[in-house]
Structure 1
C-alpha cells in the first residue's frame, strides 16, 4: 500500500470558500473544518471515498487517542471535513451530524452498516477495523487490542456524516 499523499491545502481552501459562499456564510462565522483523507493509504482513501460519494458510507469511526496523539480536537456535531482522494485532491465536504463514544464490542450493527464497507455486517466491521487499528497504532509505537477501548481515552468515536458539498454529491438533508 502506498502512503497517504500530501494534501492540496490550497485547493481544499478554495473548495471551502466556495461552500461558504454558496451558503452565504462569512469566514468569521464559519464552522470548524479539517482537511483529511479516509484510511491510512492512497488506495484505502480512494476506496472509502468512493463508498461515500457513490455508496452508502455515512459513518466513520476512530480511536479517541488518535486526536490526542495528533494534537487536534475531537470532532463535534457541526464540524466539517474536506475529504481528499488518494492523490491529496479535495473531492467533497462532509458535515458531522452525530457523535457517540463506544467500546469496540459495543458498536451496534446499525453503525457498522452505516460505515458502508464490505458486506455491511458487524462481523466485517470488527474484522477490518481490528486490522486497521492494530496497524495504525503500531505505526505510532502503540500496541492495540479491542479490549483496551473500555479504558478512558482509548474508546472509539462513532461519527455520522452527511455530504454537503459539492451540490452534485450533497445529501438531500444537507441542501
Structure 2
C-alpha cells in the first residue's frame, strides 16, 4: 500500500472510530524538519510526554498550511510518512519564542523538559528554518503559534 493510500485508509478508520463526519478535514503532518526528527517526536507523542508543539506562523503561511485552532484534529506521521496517531488541539496562543514558560517546555516533552533546553533546541530549529525559507527569525519578534493537544486515536 502506498503512503498516500495508507494515510487515506487510516483517516477513514479514525473518523469512523471517533464519530467524525466523513467530510471533516483532517490534515496529516510530520513534526520536525527531517525524517529522523519526525520519528523521535512522534515517539514522544505516542508514548505520552509530548503534549505541545510550537510553529513559526510565517513559515506555515509560506507553506500554505492551515493554522491550528482548538478542536482541530491532525494525523501525526512518522519519518516514513506512516500514520501513528491522531491528535486534537486543546489550546492555542500566539507569542514570541521568548514568551514560552517552564510549563510549556515541560508539555513539549523534549530533552530534559526545562525551559533552558527548550529555548536552545528551538533557537537551533528556527535558525535552520530561517536559512531554508529565506526569512529572518527573531526570538523576541517573530510570531509563533503555541499549541497543546491530546492523543485521541492511535494507528495500528
What TM-score range do you get, normalising by the shorter chain?
over 0.9
Give the Å deviation of 1:167. Answer: 7.7
Aligned residue for 1:146, secondary structure, equals coil
CA shift digits 1:97-145 (9 cap, x unpaired) = 1101111111111001100000100000100000000101210112223
Name stretches of at least 5 consecutive residues in structure 1 with no aligned partner: 1-6, 150-154, 169-175
The answer on whether the counterparts of 1:102 and 1:157 sit within 8 Å (CA) in structure 2 is yes
Alignment of 1:27-106 (within 5 A): 27-28=22-23, 30=24, 32-106=25-99
Question: Moved runs in structure 1, 4+ residues, more than 3 A?
Answer: none
In the other structure, the counterpart of 1:17 is 12
Residue 22 and residue 104 in structure 1: after superposition, are their counterparts in 2 closer, same or farther (change >3 A)?
Answer: same
> Whose relative contact order is higher, 1 or 2, with alpha carbons under 8 Å and at least 6 apart?
2
CA shift digits 1:50-107 (9 cap, x unpaired) = 1111131000000111221012221111111111111111111111111011111111
2:104 aligned residue (97, 111, 114)? 111
In the other structure, the counterpart of 2:122 is 129
Residue 93 and residue 123 in structure 1: after superposition, are their counterparts in 2 closer, same or farther (change >3 A)?
Answer: same
Aligned residue pairs, count: 155
The answer on whether the counterparts of 2:10 and 2:155 sit within 8 Å (CA) in structure 1 is no
Taking structure 2 as the reference length, the TM-score comes to 0.92
The answer to whether the aligner puts 1:159 opposite 2:152 as a matched pair is no
Name stretches of at least 5 consecutive residues in structure 2 with no aligned partner: none
